[in-house]
Chains A and B, each alone.
Chain A
Amino acid sequence: MKLFVPDRKKFKSYEVNISGHLMEIREGNNTLRIDFEKLSATQYSFLINQKPYLIETFPTGEGIDVKIGHRRQVVPVLTEREKIARELFGATAGLAKEEIIKAPMPGLILKIEVEKGQQVKPGDPLVVMEAMKMENEIRAKFAGKVQEIAMEPNQTVEKGAVLIKIGKV
């Protein structure tokens, strides 16, 4: 199968063939073989050039969230269909004009640091939540204007609950 990784404005193209426990990955003139074993639903053991790597994956919205050993990165990898969609609609395809801040974990809302209509910049604190006996500050990732505040202090929220909507500038 063909897979693509965005590389500046273009795409790096990979050709992957799987046969039994072996995988061959080609990119241009380079060929790499991976001997793989699936250990569990989320874990693999890879041998690359006889060097062992323990791999763990996490479900994520975009890209492949992967741990090699204990280190972790998120790498966007697209199938042919996903690549075409992106070429047609651009990298921002499907991205809303607003940023929806969701609860990263279930917990208790302690404090709301912003008001409706307030301008925020990246890094500004929005909400303070308590989970696991610790206070966690949720900050804005983009600049914009607070459009909606969807919860109140002392409210318990589930993971993924919408907290705040910010209209992007």
Chain B
Amino acid sequence: MTARQRKIKRVLVANRGEIAVRIIRACRELDLETVAVYSEADRRSPFVHLADTAVYIGPAESSLSYLNMEKIIEAAWQTGADAIHPGYGFLAENAVFARKVEDKGLVFVGPTPETIELMGHKTASREAMRRAGVPVVPGTEKSVKSTAEAREIVASMDGYPIMLKAAAGGGGKGMRIVRHDAELDRALEAAQDEAQKAFGDASIYIEKYIENPRHIEIQILADQAGNIVHLYERECSIQRRHQKLIEECPSSVLTPAQRSRMGQVAIQAARACHYRGAGTIEFLYDASGKFYFLEMNTRLQVEHTVTEMALGMDLVKLQLLIAAGNPLPFTQTDIQPQGHAIECRINAEDVYHDFTPSIGKITAFVPPDGPGIRVDSGITVNSEISVHYDPLVAKLIAFGRDRNEAIARMKRALREFQIAGIHTTIPFCQMVMSEKSFQKGEFNTGFVEKFWRDMVADDRDKNLFEIVAVAVKALQSGTVRNPGTNHSANSRNGVSSWKLRGQKEALR
């Protein structure tokens, strides 16, 4: 591959929310001008105020705005932008969009359309990875047509459990675990049905199901001259329904030898698909320490922040430098973790009611700060959390010299974080940070399933909640019946003799 110098002066950010803010920050530090595109629902969002230019692209529904390729490219053209950064989600892994951008003579900040296309197709990418010597989960490369064919395949890989997956899929759709032969017929039909509806493609392939693996991914960075480095791993095993909730760098389970082996394999994978820019190879890591290629994300990840904090790097700036044709400014041996970083995703979800979306107006927003704390957010007071977009409102990242310090800082920062008006995943994150098995680093993707019910059922401080609820009801009822009664009411420091049970518990 040859590096092509491309002049980038003005970058259009084809995204919204916290990631739009994140990209604008990197551009500003590199002295690049920024163009934001926004939907009707985002007119008041912080990323609009932070950009140099802001272009309205349509109504709240993302299909008419943030997914509207023509509108976005037109906005870039009209504002004189020379590059488009897609962020994550929306059009970030859309090969058609990447091609349209390049056809217009603009720089797409990401890999080539060919790479996106290849790695976006599950069976094609598995096949490419297998040929490149990357370990893949045993299974089929071709989609299965019939249950008879499926049975043959299952027999050839030591039987159940297996996983049915949509070839065009992602995000847990069209996925089915099958543990017994009797379930196969119905499961295959259901998966095909779901895949057809979700992706317009009913192709299903079969994989060996790895029971409760850890999810460990390697960040890689490749310049246009073909230099590739890995930026260590991220452990993302705290997930619910395949949605990551807490990530960290480095993983507490990998030995140095495993780490370097996984890093080398990830570089092999990136080389095999002619990668350019920042990308992530996701692996499943089983109880015996074996790891298997899961998929490649050909974009910046939500959790890129933990890599940045642990390694002291700015991945978005590096993406932009690479897109402009510059060589990597370092080699593999220059890269060393400086400590440990953890990210908590603060989602607008009601964790006490099965993580249902929580919508509404933010009435208070006080993010934590202080030593070792970073907050990437895209909201402010009076921001409206709507159903139109994903529920991520902020990412809280804690950095420490070691994992223990990072956990202690995260606990401290979660306690400080004030978001009023909606429910968030903060109580979930607090409980995970306090859980012994998390602290010891002994967990896998089955963690949330295993612990969450007990966590929610926790009714410590029942007495305190009762007193507070009584006080709130009295205040809401509003009538002050006995103004100025005895009881030394003027002393602000009146200490009561009534000892509350559970008072010592840190509640915030």
Give chain A residues whose Cβ lies under 8 Å from the Cβ of B417.
Answer: 70
Contact status A105-B356, CB under 8 Å: yes
Could you mark each residue 386-423 of chain B with 1 if its beta carbon is under 8 Å from any beta carbon of chain A, else 0?
01111100000000000000000000001101101101
The answer to whether residues A77 and B508 also contact, given A40-B420, A53-B468, A132-B390 and a CB cut-off of 8 A, is no
The answer to whether residues A35 and B485 also contact, given A54-B508, A133-B389 and a CB cut-off of 8 A, is no
The answer to whether residues A70 and B481 also contact, given A35-B492, A77-B473 and a CB cut-off of 8 A, is no
Contact status B473-A25, CB under 8 Å: no
Majority DSSP secondary structure for residues of B touching A = loop
The answer to whether residues A64 and B472 also contact, given A20-B489, A132-B390 and a CB cut-off of 8 A, is yes
Give chain B residues whose Cβ lies under 8 Å from the Cβ of A16.
Answer: 470-471, 474
Q: Tell me how many residues of B have a C-beta within 8 Å of chain A.
A: 66
Give chain A residues whose Cβ lies under 8 Å from the Cβ of B481.
Answer: 1, 17-18
Contact status B471-A36, CB under 8 Å: yes
List A128-149 residues whose CB lies under 8 Å from chain B. 131-134, 136-137
CA A136 to CA B350, docked complex, whole Å: 12
CA A39 to CA B418, docked complex, whole Å: 13
Minimum CB–CB distance for A31 against chain B, Å? 6
CA A53 to CA B415, docked complex, whole Å: 11
Give the interface segment out of A55-63, A85-93, A161-169: A55-63
Q: Which residue of A lies closest to B482 (CB)?
A: A17
CA A106 to CA B490, docked complex, whole Å: 48
CA A21 to CA B480, docked complex, whole Å: 11
Q: Which residue of A lies closest to B352 (CB)?
A: A72
Give chain A residues whose Cβ lies under 8 Å from the Cβ of B503.
Answer: 48-49, 51
CA A64 to CA B493, docked complex, whole Å: 27
Could you mark each residue 135-179 of chain B with 1 if its beta carbon is under 8 Å from any beta carbon of chain A, else 0?
000000000000000000000000000000000000000000000
List A20-39 residues whose CB lies under 8 Å from chain B. 20-25, 30-36, 38-39
The answer to whether residues A42 and B469 also contact, given A31-B496, A105-B356 and a CB cut-off of 8 A, is no
Tell me, yes or no, whether A50 is within 8 Å of chain B by CB: yes
Tell me, yes or no, whether B1 is within 8 Å of chain A by CB: no
Contact status B353-A55, CB under 8 Å: no
CA A41 to CA B493, docked complex, whole Å: 25
Tell me, yes or no, whether B74 is within 8 Å of chain A by CB: no
Tell me, yes or no, whether B226 is within 8 Å of chain A by CB: no
Q: Which residue of B lies closest to A40 (CB)?
A: B363
Give chain B residues whose Cβ lies under 8 Å from the Cβ of A47.
Answer: 492
Q: Which residue of A lies closest to B426 (CB)?
A: A70
Minimum CB–CB distance for B240 against chain A, Å? 10
Contact status A136-B475, CB under 8 Å: no
Contact status B477-A35, CB under 8 Å: no
Q: Which residue of B lies closest to A20 (CB)?
A: B489
Tell me, yes or no, whether B430 is within 8 Å of chain A by CB: yes
The answer to whether residues A49 and B496 also contact, given A56-B420, A104-B356, A131-B357 and a CB cut-off of 8 A, is yes
Give chain B residues whose Cβ lies under 8 Å from the Cβ of A43.
Answer: 363-364, 420
Give chain A residues whose Cβ lies under 8 Å from the Cβ of B468.
Answer: 46, 53, 55, 66, 68
Tell me, yes or no, whether B464 is within 8 Å of chain A by CB: yes
Contact status B496-A42, CB under 8 Å: no
CA A41 to CA B420, docked complex, whole Å: 11
CA A44 to CA B484, docked complex, whole Å: 21
Give chain A residues whose Cβ lies under 8 Å from the Cβ of B476.
Answer: 57
Contact status A32-B469, CB under 8 Å: no
Contact status A70-B469, CB under 8 Å: no
Minimum CB–CB distance for A141 against chain B, Å? 11
3 interchain residue pairs of minimum CB distance = A69-B508, A75-B469, A64-B469
Sample of 8 A–B contacts (CB below 8 Å)? A20-B490, A33-B496, A39-B364, A43-B363, A64-B473, A70-B424, A72-B423, A75-B465
Taking A48-B500, A106-B387, A134-B357 as known contacts, 13 extra A-B pairs with beta carbons closer than 8 A to each other, sorted by chain A number, are A1-B474, A5-B469, A18-B480, A19-B487, A23-B471, A25-B470, A36-B471, A44-B475, A48-B503, A53-B468, A54-B418, A68-B508, A105-B387
Q: Which residues of A are in contact with B by a Cβ distance under 8 Å?
A: 1, 3, 5, 12, 14, 16-25, 30-36, 38-44, 46-51, 53-57, 63-64, 66, 68-73, 75, 77, 79, 104-107, 131-134, 136-137, 159
